[in-house]
Structure 1
Amino acid sequence: MQEQQAGATDRGRVWRQDQQPAYPSWDASSPATVYGASPARRRGRRSGRRRGRAALAFGVVLLLAAVGVVWWLTRPPTLPTIPAQYLATVQSAAKTCPELSVPMLAAQLDAESHWDPRADSGQAQGIAQFHPSTWAEWGKDFTGDGKADVWNPADAIPAQGAYMCHLFKQVKNVPGDPTQLALAAYNAGPGAVLKARGIPEIPETQNYVNRIEALIPKYTQTYTKQISASPSPPGN
């Protein structure tokens, strides 16, 4: 009886092939079974992560580039400053006559040579760009070394101040702004200003005057900061 029941039980556990449960096959030798994914799928995931990191890095680069462009477009303009080694010389030259000022002489030197004492245009020389014939008349040995040297700013800048004072006198009866007229005379010669009864219609001269006029307020701003930052002489 027990054998019949056991046989019945065993027969009850026997499934036909078309009644096998839909369980996935398991093969211990399959890498997909051991690691949970096929090699191709794992490579795909790694490749996807690499692409994601590359896209993130590219986005960061674009963001930094955009920030740099915005900074460049919105940065405050850089203002010109009198080089420290020439400051005292320009201050002294500006005292030559009342018409001169430190910012004006500084702006003129900037326009003439960009503060380069070795500047040579072929027709004018030195930091103040004197023509040889003009230097022969106005160049002096301001340093006391026995030589009037157009290449020495310590000689050229005081000569610039003295010559500008002379030009202010030359054009004083010409209608117009005295500073603009004197600057035009420095560039084109006083005879050209007197003949034109104003600034000559010479593009180079007109651009020269306009450039210096634009630089004067900038040098005024930076010169004010320079003298406020300079230590006061003893006893003051």
Structure 2
Amino acid sequence: MLISAAAAFIGLFVVAISLIVMVIVGEDAEAIDLSDGGGGLQGVPAEFRSWILKADAECDQPAMTPALLAAQLWQESKFKTSEEEATSSAGAQGPAQFMPGTWTTWGRDSDGNGEVSPWDIGDAVMAQGRMMCSLLKQAKNSGYPGDVRALALGGYNAGWGRVVEFGGVPPQSFANGETYNYVQLILSTMKRFQGLGRLQVSGSGTGPDALRKAGTRMGTPYAYGGGGPSGPSTGFCDGNNGYSGGRCAASSTTGFDCSSLVQYAYWSSVRLPRTAAAQYGATSDRAVARADFQPGDLLFWAHSDGFVYHVAIYAGDGKVLHAPRTGRHVELAPLTSAMPQDDYLGATRP
């Protein structure tokens, strides 16, 4: 973020992070709401999700959405929370990267732990929401041309005084395009954090619970070799897999592959092995016919030589939840088109 006298005017210096999502409607949730346009949210870490939704709910500005806050956090720090990763060279702190002076204006003890700290996720996200809400209101009342979200983001990055100076978002010629690019990147990545659809999950038990947990990761990137019981991580390339455009994408992508998503979903009630082939081997004695599919069942695909190369979680209504391949994200897909139909091997129940 740009630090200047104008930034001190309204300055919050925000940084934030990547991945993963969770909204369960009630204890016996019938659905994980990942859509509804403005209210939907995906690809956000579970520990951030409830605070983003709360910050959005407390703002009376129609232009405020959870996806806007999430995209801003991603651009700022990719949801990093450690002092090592979430302290800027300019002294901005925490997952929302507040400068100390700005924090005194917007910080509150939102999580009720007795501290007002930019390192607390709840305190930081709610402060971010309060500041953005104020800026959105200023933008709406300013009469300046353009998207009010862009104006607010410009004020957030450079200070509202710079928006006033330029009569809009500071141009590319200002600060080497830092603010201009900041605004464009956030607006262009918002779609990534908007829900993909409504994942219906009925019932309780190991399978539905695993499906709910995996559903919180919708929108997380595919990373070959990445991910595990504790969540997404960077992957690796093995000479055949993990590449995109001739480069190893997996090594710089934080995400899941198909089997790590399944392992994560079932851990630790069922401690499945890491690979699709090993997961099939560990559960093949509990085969399930198509007519008997239940949410949480595992579906497998194999090459003609018998090698099991893909696993997905049955999500009901003829759909699966899976991490398909490099360049894609964790998503819902029709069972009939998730993978080549001729490769379908069978289903099991962990």
Coarse TM-score class (shorter-chain normalised):
0.5 to 0.7
User: Does residue 1:132 correspond to 2:100, yes or no?
Assistant: yes
Q: Does 1:109 align with 2:80?
A: no
Secondary structure at the counterpart of residue 228 of structure 1: strand
- Residue 139 of structure 2 contacts residue 152 of structure 2 at CA under 8 Å; is this kept in 1? yes
- The answer to whether residue 56 in structure 2 is matched with residue 94 in structure 1 is yes
- Alpha carbons 2:77, 2:96 under 8 Å: kept: yes
Larger strand proportion, structure 1 or 2? 2
- In the alignment, which of 166, 188, 192 is matched to residue 134 of structure 2? 166
Which structure 2 residues correspond to residues 112-191 of structure 1 after superposition, within 5 A? 112-118=76-82, 119-123=86-90, 124-172=92-140, 173=142, 174-191=144-161
1:84 aligns with 2:58: no
Match for residue 184 of structure 2 among 193, 210, 234: 210
Distance in 1 separating the partners of 2:107 and 2:71: 20
| 2:199 is equivalent to residue 228 of structure 1 | yes
Q: Which runs of 5+ in 1 are unaligned?
A: 1-79
Q: Secondary structure at the match of 2:169?
A: coil
CA pair 230-210 structure 1, distance change in 2 beyond 3 A: farther
Runs of 4 or more consecutive aligned structure 1 residues displaced over 6 Å after TM superposition: none
Encode CA deviations 1:32-64: one digit per residue, 9 max, x unaligned: xxxxxxxxxxxxxxxxxxxxxxxxxxxxxxxxx
Deviations 1:132-180 (A, max 9, x none): 2111100111011221100111110011111101111222212211000
Paired residues of 1:127 and 1:153 also in contact (CA < 8 A)? yes
Q: 1:230 and 1:110, CA in 2 relative to 1: closer, same or farther beyond 3 A?
A: farther
Kept in 1, the 8 Å contact 2:163–2:170? The answer is yes
The Cα of 1:231 is off from its aligned counterpart by: 7.3
Aligned partners of 1:142 and 1:158 also within 8 Å: yes
Post-superposition Cα deviations, 1:102-153, rounded to whole Å, max 9, x if no partner, equal: 1111000000100112311133221111122111100111011221100111
Equivalent pairs, count: 150
Alpha-carbon separation, structure 2, partners of 1:87 and 1:164? 17
- TM-score using structure 1 length: 0.59
Percent identity of paired positions between Structure 1 and Structure 2: 40
- 2:135·2:152 contact (CA, 8 Å) conserved in 1? yes
Alpha-carbon separation, structure 2, partners of 1:96 and 1:224: 24
Q: Secondary structure at the match of 2:199?
A: helix
The answer to whether the aligner puts 1:195 opposite 2:169 as a matched pair is no
- Code of the aligned partner of 2:75: A
Question: Contact 2:64–2:136 at 8 Å: present in 1 too?
Answer: no
Cα distance in 2, alignment partners of residues 231 and 187 from structure 1: 43
TM-score of the two chains, using structure 2 as the length reference:
0.41
Rg comparison, structure with higher value: 1
Whether contact under 8 Å (1:171, 1:193) holds in the other structure is no
Structure 2 unaligned runs (5+)?
1-41, 204-350
Q: Name 1:42's counterpart in structure 2.
A: none
RMSD across aligned positions (CA): 1.9
Give the distance between the partners of 2:44 and 2:71, measured in 1 at CA: 9
What one-letter code is carried by the residue in structure 2 that aligns with 1:186?
Answer: Y
* Other structure's SS at 2:80 match: coil
